[in-house]
Structure formats: C-alpha cells, structure tokens
Structure 1
Amino acid sequence: MSAVLSGPRTLDEVRDHVWERRSEIQARDAYVLTLLALARENPDLACLTADMDYQDHFATEMPRQHVELGIAEQNLISVAAGMTVGASPVFANGMGPFVSGRSWEQIKIDVAGANLPVKIVGTHSGLSSGHFGPTHHATEDLGMLRLLPNLTVVAPGDAWETVQATVAVAESPGPVYLRLGRNATPALYRERGEFVLGRARVLREPARITFLATGPWPNTVAAEAARELELRGVPVGHLNVHTVKPLDRAAIVAAAAEAEVFVTIEDHRVAGGLGGAVSEVVAEIGGPVVRRIGVPDVHYDLVGGEPYLLEHAGVNAANAIAQALEVIAC
C-alpha cells in the first residue's frame, strides 16, 4: 500500500476522502479503505490475504475478521469458500496473476461452481507489475474467469470507481472477481455518478466511432483518443465497460446501431477479454467492425514500467485512432 490509511473511518468519509484524491490515490488503497469501512459496519465480513500487507491495516484493527494464508493462493480460495459457512461476504485478496492463474481450478470448483459469496480481489493486474517481468503480468485473467458460471468479473476505471465497485461487490450475493491495478491513474469522472454492476457507463454517447474500454489505463487511452478525434470533427463515443461479465449486452446493441466501428481497449490479451466478449455479441446481432487493442498474442517477455509496456503493446491513443480511422476511411 502507498497511502496512509488511517483517517477516514465511515463509508461516507471514505467516499469523500477518495473523491478529493481520485487522481493521486491508488485503486488498491481506495479498496482497502472501503473494505475497512464495510468491515466496521459488518462483523461478519472476512478478509483473507495471500502475503499482502493488509495486516498493517486491516488485521491491526480487526484481527478476528482477518486471516493471512501466506503465499498459497490455491489454499486461499478454498479456505475462503469454506469460511462462507460462517462469514459473508468473504474477500480473498492476492496478486492478480497468481490469485487468478494459480487458483483457477479452486475458483472453478469451490467458488464459481458452488456459487458462494467469495469476492476474489486481484491487485497488480494487467501490466502494472511489469517491472517484475512476465511472471507478474496479469493479462489472461479476464478471459480465464469470464468462462466460469456465476462469477461476476469487474475492472473499475479509477480509484473513485473502485470505491463504488467494492461496495457493490460486497452487496452482491454471488462470487465476484474484482480486478485492480498497482499504480495511481488519472480520474475518469468529474461528477459522482451511479455505479451498477453489469451496466456500462457512457462517457460519450455512442457515435460513428465508439471506444469500449475496461480498467484504468485503457479508459484513459480511450478518453485521450476521443478528445483528439473530436478536435478533428469526427463523431466519437466512449463506453466504460467496467463489468466484463455479465456484459452489458443492451448497451452494446444500442451502440452498434450508431457505430461503423467498435474499438475495444484493454490491458489484457487481445484474445478472450473485453474484445472477445464484445465480438461475440456483434457476431450474434450483426453490427460494426470490431478492432481489438490489447497485449499481442506472443510471449510478452518484456520487463519494464507499466507505461512503457502499454506503449510497446500498442495500448495507446495513436493506435486507437489509427484503427478507427482505417475502418471508416474504407
């Protein structure tokens, strides 16, 4: 964690605190602040961790509601499933590449298959821990986990939306995967709007070109590309698809009626993630051309900071604009 997490205690205080700092606070810090506030209100909420530093914050104040499992993500998921007998909701926290990939079978059988109220939180998602190398790239998690029944898959767009998503996830009756990054990212919103699981947020009304993005940096890229196209006089829309499963089919169908091209943007493999999910809907209904921007289908063995790796993968505004204009120029 990067921020000093003492201070705001109630959920309303956390909301105000994060909103005021939404461009500088890390999403994982916003999440922990929110989880602490929720746990103070609900003594049945449990927080399980796999060698995270939550013990410095959560466990110090509420040791009865915290269990540290160590570097044992498979065990983390199975223990979390078992704890739902006496606790609800149960938050199981780990690093994105390991809590999703290493624990996939446990998530499939113990959590999703049993439809239990386990909230799996994967931090360091996408390429946010790229300085550790490809072992720490979490670029397959959306694809792996949206395959599983009952499991909601959520990637908030910034720190503020992380607060909203955490509250919604805690209130959701079923299993959820909440995908968070590692670094502070630009704020998406100028006003506090409503967040609903499974409902995309319209940042710009669908138009001839419509960007669909999930997660912080992809939405930042989409917003930058949309501003540039607007300056060129090109009609452009932008949907923040924060919930990859269940996908907001109605929003995609409505946008497809206006668009000549969809450009999906994600810090995930181009196969299987948001682009794949959107393409499935478009293939069923007919609609615009879909161009997908994400991590290429190669062994992405680069080591470097998140901005460098995203740029290298083509997850940038210039590529988003080029992909869109190539279609509408045909």
Structure 2
Amino acid sequence: MSTTTTATTKQRLTTSAMIASFADPGQRTSPAPFGHALAALAAERPEIVGLSADLAKYTDMHVFREAHPDRFFQMGMAEQVMLGAAAGMAEAGLVPFASTYSVFATRRAYDFLCLDIAEPGLNVTVVGALPGLTTGYGPSHQATEDLAILRGCPNLTIVDPCDSVDIAAAVPALADHDGPTYLRLLRGQVPTVLDEYDYRFELGRAAELRTGRDVVLISTGLMTMRALQAAQRLEADHVDVAVLHVPTIKPLDTAAIVNAARSDRLVLTLENHTVVGGLGEAVGTTLALAGIGTRFGRIGLPDEFLAAGALPTLHDRYGLSTDAIVTRIKEQLA
C-alpha cells in the first residue's frame, strides 16, 4: 500500500505536530520517507544501524527505532560522542546512519565528522535535519550555512534531495557508497514531486527535468520543487524554463552544468542555503573555469542570521517562495 497522501491527511508514524512543513496545502506528501526507507533497507542488511542525538522523533529515525530496536542507539544530547561512536561502528564493519539537526552536526560536531569519519573515509552517513530555512525557530536551528561548512571537507559526499522520491532512492545509494556522506534531511510530511518526471536518483549526477529555450534553473533540495512550480507558472507568460536538478552537491556534476549553460539562456541557481559557499558559488566557479560567459544569477538566502516565524512568511520574505522566484525571473528577463 502506498504511503503517499495529502499534506492535510493524518497517518501513522508521522512526526511531531510541532514540526513545520514546507508542503503546499493539498500537495501530495509521504510521511517520514527517510525513516521508512532506512527501516526497509535494514530488513535486508543486518549491518545497518541507526543513531540519534536525542532527536529520533524529529529526524524520522523513530520509524527505524520501532522496526529495529536492537540496532538503534540513543546517544543523548552529545553529537560529538554520536559521531565518534558511529566512526567506531563503521570501523567494526557496520553501516551507521547518525541523525541530528544540521546545525548540531556541522557547527557543533564538525571536528568529529572531519577527523573521525571523513579523514579515514569511513562508511558513515550523517543525516542533518532542518537544512536551510525549513524551520521557523530562528538562527539556533536554521542551518543556512551547512553546505558552506562541509564542501571544504575532503572525502565527504553531500546530498540535498528534492522530495520523498529522492530520499527513498538516496538511502540505499548512500549505504552502498564507499565513504562518508552527509544527507540534508527533509522530514515529516515530505512532498512527492519527482514521480511525475522521468527521473532516477544517481549519486553524483544531475538530471534535466524540463527543457526550455529562455531560462535554465539549476536547483537543489526543496528548491527544485519550487523551480518546477515556477516553470509551470511562467508558461502562461510564454517563458520557456528548463530545470536541472542537482541532488549531489559534492562531487558536483560539472559536465551537466557546463552543458546546460552553453546556450544563450539566463542561468539562475536556486538553493535553500545562504548564497555564500553553496550551490550558486559552486556553479559560478564551474562556469568561470570552463570559460563560459552567460547571464548568471543566484536565488538563495541572504548572508545574515534569519528571523523566526511561520515558514510561508519566511520563504516569501527571503525569496524562496514560488511567487518570489517567478518575480525574480521576470525581473532578470526584463
């Protein structure tokens, strides 16, 4: 039976009511896709274990905990200890998925992620919830700079999925990957979008979801959903928009990006992250090194600490909403 539902439908094993959702009203969603994917994979692979820093219910790890209680480890509010323990488990032949909020995995526990996990190249997946602007709790919980912090870490693969389809496919791919990975987690009722496109998640590969002659949007994470919505809206104004989805931030699919930017189209990057150090800068560097001169712009969060509040209000204020993206594209084309 499919777990896909609408954003307003109540289902079993969903996350806390305290968790805000960026899904549009009435949009198709799937509950806790990460937790369900990990639990299903662990049923086939006994070496998979799950760890949480006292946030299982808030990172969808509670689904894995209920299915495999003997392979779940509650580490408490000690992210450094959790990552050190995950490294030890990987050294012993296990495949750990260690979950917490992105701010704690990056700001608080970076040294342990870098030296205990990345430097020896261990097969540990660090799962970071609340990436970018996916909570209204303010700067203490908004990981707006996690990509900028982690892109500089050698050996680390970074994945920013768009929706429930991406997450379900990324989990087994990350378990199979020979080395450390960081997954930007979309949690709770996660939109289901990519099943309407001829799309298959491939680690390290970007995917063209739409073709278009006027604009190409190079997007990652939940902003691919917004890019697709903006492209559909702009059809009414006879603006033809292509969308290139980049689920893997590192290693970056530079060949796909260069190919997308070779034509005489406006190129815009879209990311749920500060414009400093994320996808926009990576794409800009890629194009400059390839000698490609094109109209180029970035849509992302400003280089500042953001306000607290309701997610729809914050996404409008900081330019991540579909309305804001459509307006920005029209301004760029004027």
Is TM > 0.5 for Structure 1 vs Structure 2?
Answer: yes
What are the within-5 Å matches in structure 2 for residues 35-184 of structure 1?
Answer: 35-53=38-56, 56-130=62-136, 132-184=137-189
Give the letter for the 2:180 counterpart.
Answer: P
Give the letter for the 2:153 counterpart.
Answer: L
Length, aligned pairs only: 309
Matched with 2:244 is: 239
CA contact (8 A) 2:34 2:187 kept: no
Measure, in 2, the Cα distance between the counterparts of 1:234 and 1:56: 44
Change (3 A) 1:76 1:226: same
Measure, in 1, the Cα distance between the counterparts of 2:321 and 2:27: 22
Q: Structure 1 segments of 4 or more deviating over 4 A?
A: none
Measure, in 2, the Cα distance between the counterparts of 1:173 and 1:259: 39
Measure, in 2, the Cα distance between the counterparts of 1:22 and 1:62: 31
Question: Higher helix share goes to which structure?
Answer: 1
Q: Structure 1, residues 212-236: CA drift from partner, whole Å, max 9, x if none?
A: 11112x1222112211222222232
1:207 aligns with 2:210: no
The one of 29, 32, 37 equivalent to 2:35 is: 32
What are the within-5 Å matches in structure 2 for residues 283-322 of structure 1?
Answer: 283-285=288-290, 286-300=292-306, 302-322=307-327
Measure, in 2, the Cα distance between the counterparts of 1:172 and 1:281: 25
Give secondary structure in 2 for the equivalent of 1:143: helix
Give the letter for the 1:121 counterpart.
Answer: V
Measure, in 1, the Cα distance between the counterparts of 2:265 and 2:284: 14
The one of 270, 279, 285 equivalent to 2:284 is: 279
Q: CA deviation at 1:278?
A: 0.7
Q: CA deviation at 1:3?
A: 4.8
Q: CA deviation at 1:239?
A: 1.0
Give the letter for the 1:37 counterpart.
Answer: A
CA contact (8 A) 2:199 2:209 kept: no
The one of 257, 266, 286 equivalent to 1:261 is: 266
Measure, in 2, the Cα distance between the counterparts of 1:206 and 1:176: 33
CA contact (8 A) 1:150 1:174 kept: yes
Structure 1 runs not aligned, ≥5 long: 7-20
Q: Structure 1, residues 28-67: CA drift from partner, whole Å, max 9, x if none?
A: x111111111111111111111102367543344233221
Give secondary structure in 2 for the equivalent of 1:24: strand
Change (3 A) 1:50 1:22: farther
Q: CA deviation at 1:192?
A: 6.4
Measure, in 2, the Cα distance between the counterparts of 1:259 and 1:42: 48
Change (3 A) 1:69 1:318: same
Give secondary structure in 2 for the equivalent of 1:70: coil
Q: Structure 1, residues 207-266: CA drift from partner, whole Å, max 9, x if none?
A: 3311111112x1222112211222222232101111111111111011011243211111
Matched with 1:4 is: 12
Q: CA deviation at 1:177?
A: 0.4
1:220 aligns with 2:232: no
Q: Percent identity?
A: 37
Give secondary structure in 2 for the equivalent of 1:71: coil
TM-score normalised according to structure 1 size = 0.87
CA contact (8 A) 1:45 1:87 kept: no
CA contact (8 A) 2:27 2:191 kept: yes
Change (3 A) 1:87 1:248: same
